[in-house]
């Protein structure tokens, strides 16, 4: 029986079950797919809004405000586009059996961290080390 057939709607991964079992993998797959769907829906909304707002506003201040809003919206959508790429990568890791394990240390990533940030690729400790190294090299 596949995980999607027996995963209850109120299921939450627990520390006392085997790490990255079928139920946990299905839980995170659904979470990632739902997140991706939300982002794609928001992107479609943005395209509709941009099409509607592409009107000639005679007042310079109103036009500047509208352009600023449009630029902010496009920057937000660009960040979300990159996030969708990370979601797709996480879904591939689920399919490859690599999901939930740190790319640096190979250790399991905590379920709490994955639940909060399902695209995480490092344990909290590895992420902190990575950020410290990044800061040191940036200061050089």
Bridge partners, residue 101, by sequence: 108
The pLDDT of residue 71 is 85
Higher pLDDT, 14 or 67: 14
Q: Are residues 23 and 36 in the same domain?
A: yes
CATH code of the domain covering residue 33: 1.20.120.910
Q: Please indicate, yes or no, if residue 3 is contained in any of the structural domains.
A: no
Examine the pLDDT at 56 and tell me if it is beyond 90: no
Per-residue model confidence as pLDDT tens digits over 74-95: 888 889 999 999 999 999 999 9
Q: Are residues 110 and 92 in the same domain?
A: no
Q: Quote the number of domains for the chain.
A: 2
Domain limits for position 67: 19-99
Q: Please indicate, yes or no, if residue 11 is contained in any of the structural domains.
A: no
For the chain, where are the alpha helices, taking DSSP H only? 3-6, 22-53, 60-96, 111-116, 124-139
């Amino acid at each position: 029986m596949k995980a999607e057939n027996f995963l209850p709607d109120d299921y939450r991964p627990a520390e006392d079950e085997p790490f990255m079992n079928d139920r946990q993998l299905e839980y995170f797959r659904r979470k990632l797919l739902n997140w991706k769907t939300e982002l794609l829906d928001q992107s479609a909304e943005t395209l509709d809004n941009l099409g509607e707002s592409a009107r000639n506003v005679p007042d310079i201040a109103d036009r500047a405000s509208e352009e600023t809003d449009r630029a902010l919206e496009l920057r937000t959508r660009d960040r979300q586009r990159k996030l969708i790429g990370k979601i797709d990568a996480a879904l591939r890791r689920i399919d490859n059996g690599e999901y939930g394990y740190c790319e640096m240390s190979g250790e399991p990533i905590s379920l709490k961290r994955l639940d909060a940030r399902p695209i995480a690729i490092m344990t909290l400790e590895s992420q902190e080390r990575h950020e410290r190294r990044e800061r040191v090299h940036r200061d050089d």
